[in-house]
Structure 1
């Protein structure tokens, strides 16, 4: 079996995060920053500006006029949507690959991550949570550890699945026991190396709520629930689907009426179809 050091060495093989992402997140989270500040940061990067305008003007977005500037894009779509587009366009390169150890084909993890991010944003808005860009970004990157770990999981999948089936472990617990590392902890290590905030690192590390205290952090609980909704809908995708602990108290807190959960699952399917349609049209 490969050692823990072998796993950690592979982190350096990931595509780096553009520095503009940190600037965008800082400005989006700062109530004292102006719209002009954010537009100026994005416009300084020609590649990001070009890709963003291409997306905004795509048939999928369906705007009635051609958009020629970031300022115009923000005025027509709103600041939050433009920020999300910038994040999505610049955080996906690593996640678009196949993760064979997890049974994920090329594009599966990225599509799921985008959909979970949209659901997490929806839940966060319903509960009037702050730091929407941070929650959205953590949702996009929650499974970044799988990009590295999937090859190691493939080598030890029988042992991992036996621990899940025979000992009642969650998939992430079995990963840690068999490999010495689980994808959530590895995701936190990667987020730290990419210089994300301590809270975002915490959300990624704890998106399966292994730390009981995480259940009391609204942002982390939101990310957990969005991820669980994805698992309940996408039961046929990935070897680890539903092999996780269900924290009923968190579900009860967010969804006192079971119809609310059913409605969110329907929302997830709709968002998923929308994203898949965008990929096909691209």
Structure 2
């Protein structure tokens, strides 16, 4: 469908119609089983780069992303890195773990979105950027214990991917209206389809019997004050999402402008910093600004 003309045949659907179509949407194996061998090895006390390198070699896509990332401008290496062992040395355990998480998930996502015109590469950058920044935001108030914060940030917009696969005509019409940047995306989605991407993503994740943490992040990342559980995590996803939009990093599909003031006045910010001292807030802002400045280089290496 041309994105310059409205599709008069698109009508909002009932919840029953939406659920029926969701039942046909493929499952994403990567969300429930993510490179277990690598995860177990990275969690072990003895972390030998040779062993990690051997596992990475079994996955050509992960190898490609690994070498592309380590040679990106962010790392500023004088000589290109061509060996996996050297790449593991430079990147460290945390970056390798994140790469192992993101590679199969993004590849699954890409299979679901091939039929829809959309700036998908910039969208993947948005999702990964939110994943990375969610950890940074959450880290200002508590110590992350595992990779759940990263995964929650990565899948927060899964509803848009599901929408593109399940309701391609609605998705195209929503995008056509959204690019004007005059209305919030969720308002357009509810008007055109009958449900927004946050609720659609949560319904999909529930249907796939995925962890409640992921469901909460998808459903409430625009309204973390309504989250029933994992409030700090969901609040961190909202703040990360808004900060990337304000900085123009990647493309979430929501073209309504966001200011830095809005980032610090949103529900998520107030949940994380309910009684902030001016000095503490300034430290958090400075830390997040440094992370935002690094992100474009990291994302160029990943996507």
Alignment TM-score > 0.5, same fold = yes
Alpha carbons 1:113, 1:141 under 8 Å: kept:
yes
Structure 1 residue 28, shift from structure 2 partner: 8.9
Cα 1:86–1:255 change in 2 (3 A) is: farther
Structure 1 residue 35, shift from structure 2 partner: 4.1
The answer to whether the aligner puts 1:241 opposite 2:276 as a matched pair is: no
Alpha carbons 2:32, 2:210 under 8 Å: kept:
no
Structure 1 residue 84, shift from structure 2 partner: 0.8
Rounded to whole Å, the distance in 2 between the matches of 1:149 and 1:123 is: 28
Cα 1:199–1:24 change in 2 (3 A) is: farther
The answer to whether the aligner puts 1:155 opposite 2:173 as a matched pair is: yes
User: What is the RMSD of the two structures over their aligned residues, measured on CA atoms?
Assistant: 4.6
Match of 1:91 in 2: 105
The one of the two structures with greater contact order (alpha-carbon pairs below 8 A, sep at least 6) is 2
Match of 2:286 in 1: 263
Match of 1:142 in 2: 156
Cα 1:55–1:33 change in 2 (3 A) is: same
The answer to whether the aligner puts 1:11 opposite 2:31 as a matched pair is: no
SS at match of 1:92: helix
Aligned length, in residue pairs: 269
Match of 1:106 in 2: 120
Alpha carbons 2:56, 2:63 under 8 Å: kept:
no
Rounded to whole Å, the distance in 1 between the matches of 2:220 and 2:33 is: 26
Q: How is 1:120-199 mapped onto 2 (pairs within 5 angstroms)? A: 120-150=134-164, 151=168, 152-155=170-173, 171-172=185-186, 175-176=189-190, 178-192=192-206, 196-199=210-213
Match of 2:3 in 1: none
Cα 1:43–1:277 change in 2 (3 A) is: closer
Superposed CA deviations along residues 189-215 of structure 1, whole A, max 9, x for unmatched, are 333455542222222222112652458
Runs of at least 5 residues in structure 2 that lack an aligned partner in the other structure = 1-10
Deviates more, 1:87-96 or 1:20-29: 20-29
Q: How is 1:51-70 mapped onto 2 (pairs within 5 angstroms)? A: 51=64, 53-55=66-68, 58=71, 60=73, 61=75, 68=83
